[in-house]
């Protein structure tokens, strides 16, 4: 879970090159204004390749979402990276970062638009169901590790994970859709919650 995605630095093969172009076009234009033409403007290879692989913008974006989820899955720090409390802290630092670099802001804004598609498009809903399940399972694993090693109290890992995911999701959406950024307040209260319950 880092900003330094390998596929942006050194895209391998056609699919990664397409994913890189999609990433940049999505950050630049957002979902509503995105077109395959605008993605092809960021594409370094033959534009006909892009049209050859995807019939529509949504088909391409759904593939992009799957690709990004795989990147998240591969990039998640495992138990070897530290104690459960440090790993949980790292997730908080990532999800509720006080300073948001412009490109990450734009990516979160675009993801907010893509998630809204799921309100009326079951293809997007299927994706975000997998997306939420992955992040929830990952957080629950960290909590369970912490209980096992005696760092956390005997809580219900799945329940805590569902709660934390709502906090992250709500705070990230709000910060790109309203002018007042409450992330610092949310983070401070989240720390109180962790201290009192975990």
DSSP string, 136-159: HHHHHHHHHHHHHTTSS-S--HHH
For 18-33, b/e burial (b = at least 16 CB within 10 A) is: bbbbbbbbbbbbebee
CA distance 22 to 39: 5
For position 69 contacting a copy of itself by CB under 8 A, the verdict is no
Q: Under a CB-based contact definition with an 8 Å cutoff, are residues 55 and 45 in contact?
A: no
For position 197 contacting a copy of itself by CB under 8 A, the verdict is yes
CB-nearer residue toward a copy of itself: 28 or 89: 28
Neighbouring C-beta atoms of residue 129, cutoff 10 Å: 12
Count CA within 13 A, CB hemisphere, residue 66: 11
Least CB distance to a copy of itself at residue 192 (A): 6
Least CB distance to a copy of itself at residue 194 (A): 10
Binding mask 104-143 for a copy of itself (x = CB under 8 A): -----xx-xx-xxxxxx---xxx-xx-xxx--x-------
From 19-27, 45-53, 82-90, 172-180, span contacting a copy of itself (CB under 8 A): 172-180
From 45-53, 58-66, 78-86, 182-190, span contacting a copy of itself (CB under 8 A): 182-190
Q: Which DSSP state fits 77? A: -
Contact residues: a copy of itself, CB under 8 A: 30-33, 109-110, 112-113, 115-120, 124-126, 128-129, 131-133, 136, 155-156, 158-160, 162-163, 165-171, 173-174, 176-180, 182, 185-186, 188-190, 192-193, 196-197
């Amino acid at each position: 879970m880092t900003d330094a995605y390998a596929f942006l630095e050194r895209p391998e093969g056609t699919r990664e090159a397409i994913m890189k172009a999609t990433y940049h076009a999505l950050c630049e234009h957002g979902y509503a204004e995105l077109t395959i033409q605008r993605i092809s403007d960021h594409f370094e290879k033959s534009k006909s390749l892009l049209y050859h692989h995807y019939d529509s913008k949504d088909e391409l974006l759904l593939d992009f979402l799957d690709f990004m989820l795989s990147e998240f899955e591969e990039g998640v720090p495992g138990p070897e990276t530290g104690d459960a409390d440090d790993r949980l802290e790292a997730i908080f630092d990532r999800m509720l970062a006080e300073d948001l670099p412009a490109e990450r802001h734009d990516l979160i804004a675009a993801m907010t638009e893509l998630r809204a598609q799921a309100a009326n498009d079951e293809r997007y809903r299927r994706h975000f169901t997998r997306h939420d399940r992955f992040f929830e399972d990952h957080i629950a694993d960290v909590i369970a590790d912490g209980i096992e090693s005696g760092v956390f109290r005997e809580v219900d890992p799945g329940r805590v994970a569902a709660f934390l995911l709502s906090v992250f999701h709500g705070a990230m959406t709000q910060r790109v859709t309203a002018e007042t950024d409450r992330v610092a307040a949310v983070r401070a209260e989240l720390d109180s919650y962790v201290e009192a319950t975990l």
